[in-house]
């Protein structure tokens, strides 16, 4: 494999310039620029139909762009598809393991498709099952796997060829919170090993947990980009909700925070009916100071929680419009190809 080759110039594993893909009147991807630094996770955030999967499919050579250019690990998506495919792994939005085969057989088959000799394909299948905690389930058919196990098998499958650049298309959509955490841990391990990940997601929390930088897309265009804290600050960041034991403390609490200069940009708001003070939080230091001040002043607090902006709130803030959620955008799963044989 090409693991030790130098990645492109300037340390970008992925470089996308003016990429376009239209389907009839649908401008699925309508001029996207994107740089993913080597060894980082880029989060591509967007609602249903934003163009995320179309982008990933172009970067995987599964779709040919109408215009623009893209390189992955220095390889051009149009001119060097074979070389490019050898450096990438793809976990599609729709699980695409063969249900009838066991976990081990799925992985072995992919190894063989990637031209590994039999003995190596066997070894690699064992390693990946171990790595993704599936060794005990190795012989069971994938149809008997839970949702989380399947996603882990998907990840294992996309790692068989030791990709340097991994695309994860909504890797945790439909998973329960515990399983989602397992997948997140695996993604973090993959990046800790020096690989680069392009992650599409509709979950702000997932983007925040995994991605160092975000690109927000809507209707085929980039509507915002930047490091996660910058973007969150732009859209208002987190909110701290404080519920005093005694609702009569609401106003004095808000006043104390304002006097200490701890009520964030725009100031806190007091919601009398809900019995909470909402404080915009811009940094962990501010959060710690707010909690400290409440203790110092001796306000008895019944509940305190932070609230992240939802994707809808981000969209509202960035575009001034509510996010559009096209329904029933199911694509033909046949078009989703997970393993990429060179």
Interaction site with ligand ATP (CB under 6 A): 23, 26, 28, 46, 48-54, 93, 202, 329, 331
Based on CB atoms, which residue is closest to ligand ATP, 54 or 286?
Answer: 54
DSSP β-ladder status, 221-227 and 213-218: antiparallel
Based on CB atoms, which residue is closest to ligand ATP, 215 or 268?
Answer: 215
* Min dist. Cβ of residue 318 to Mg ion (A): 20
12 binds, among ligand ATP, Mg ion, none (CB under 5 to 8 A by kind): none
* Min dist. Cβ of residue 119 to ligand ATP (A): 39
Phi, psi of 72 (to 5 degrees): -130, 125
CA atoms of 210 and 171, how far apart (whole Å): 12
User: How many residues are present in the chain?
Assistant: 342
278 binds, among Mg ion, ligand ATP, none (CB under 5 to 8 A by kind): none
49 binds, among Mg ion, ligand ATP, none (CB under 5 to 8 A by kind): ligand ATP
Based on CB atoms, which residue is closest to ligand ATP, 49 or 236?
Answer: 49
CA atoms of 340 and 177, how far apart (whole Å): 29
* Near Mg ion in 73-112, by CB under 5 A: 93
Bridge partners of residue 20, in order along the sequence: 30, 67
* Min dist. Cβ of residue 129 to ligand ATP (A): 29
Q: Are 19 and 70 in contact (CB under 8 A)?
A: yes
26 binds, among Mg ion, ligand ATP, none (CB under 5 to 8 A by kind): ligand ATP
* Min dist. Cβ of residue 326 to ligand ATP (A): 6
77 binds, among ligand ATP, Mg ion, none (CB under 5 to 8 A by kind): none
- Measuring CA to CA, which residue among 339, 283, 253 is closest to residue 62? 339
Based on CB atoms, which residue is closest to Mg ion, 196 or 201?
Answer: 201
Residue whose CB is nearest to Mg ion in the complex, by number = 53
103 binds, among Mg ion, ligand ATP, none (CB under 5 to 8 A by kind): none
First-to-last CA distance in the chain? 11
Based on CB atoms, which residue is closest to Mg ion, 52 or 180?
Answer: 52
Based on CB atoms, which residue is closest to ligand ATP, 169 or 339?
Answer: 169
Which H or E run includes 207? Answer: helix 204-210
CA atoms of 310 and 45, how far apart (whole Å): 12
DSSP 102: B
CA atoms of 314 and 309, how far apart (whole Å): 6
Based on CB atoms, which residue is closest to Mg ion, 93 or 286?
Answer: 93
CA atoms of 129 and 253, how far apart (whole Å): 54
Binding-site size, Mg ion (CB under 5 A): 3
79 binds, among ligand ATP, Mg ion, none (CB under 5 to 8 A by kind): none
* Near Mg ion in 202-261, by CB under 5 A: none
Q: Decide if residue 53 touches Mg ion (CB under 5 A).
A: yes
Q: Are 14 and 35 in contact (CB under 8 A)?
A: yes
Based on CB atoms, which residue is closest to ligand ATP, 203 or 299?
Answer: 203
DSSP 155: H
Greatest pairwise CA separation for the chain in angstroms = 73
For 293, residues 6+ apart whose C-beta sits below 8 A from its C-beta are 256, 257, 260, 262
- Contact residues toward Mg ion (CB under 5 A) are 52-53, 93
């Amino acid at each position: 494999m090409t693991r030790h080759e130098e990645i492109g110039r300037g340390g970008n594993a992925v470089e996308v310039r003016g990429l376009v893909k239209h389907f009839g009147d649908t401008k699925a991807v309508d001029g996207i620029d994107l740089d993913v630094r080597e060894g980082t996770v880029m989060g591509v955030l967007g609602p249903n139909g934003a163009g995320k999967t179309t982008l990933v499919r172009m970067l995987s050579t599964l779709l040919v762009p109408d215009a623009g250019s893209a390189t992955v690990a220095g390889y051009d998506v149009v001119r060097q598809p074979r070389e490019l495919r050898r450096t990438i792994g793809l976990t599609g939005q729709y699980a695409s393991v063969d249900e009838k085969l066991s976990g081990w057989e799925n992985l072995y088959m992919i190894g063989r498709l990637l031209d590994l000799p039999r003995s190596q394909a066997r070894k690699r299948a064992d390693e990946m099952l171990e790595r993704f905690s599936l060794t005990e389930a190795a012989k069971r058919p994938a149809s008997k796997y839970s949702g989380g196990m399947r996603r882990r098998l998907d990840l294992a499958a996309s790692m068989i060829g030791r990709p340097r650049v991994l695309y994860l298309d909504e890797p945790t959509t439909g998973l329960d919170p515990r399983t989602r955490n397992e997948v997140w841990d695996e993604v973090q391990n993959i990046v800790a090993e020096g690989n680069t990940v392009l992650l599409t997601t509709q979950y702000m929390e997932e983007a925040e947990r995994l991605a160092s930088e975000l690109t927000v897309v809507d209707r085929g265009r980039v509507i915002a980009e930047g490091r996660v804290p910058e973007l969150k600050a732009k859209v208002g960041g987190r909110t701290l909700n404080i519920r005093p034991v005694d609702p009569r403390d609401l106003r004095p609490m808000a006043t104390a925070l304002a006097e200490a200069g701890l009520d964030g940009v725009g100031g806190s708001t007091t919601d009398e009916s809900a019995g909470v003070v909402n404080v915009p939080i811009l940094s962990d230091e501010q959060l710690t100071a707010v909690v400290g001040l409440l203790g110092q002043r001796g306000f008895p607090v019944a509940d305190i929680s932070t609230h992240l902006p939802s994707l809808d709130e981000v969209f509202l803030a960035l575009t001034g419009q509510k996010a559009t959620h096209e329904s029933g955008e199911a694509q033909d799963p046949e078009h989703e190809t997970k393993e990429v044989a060179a």
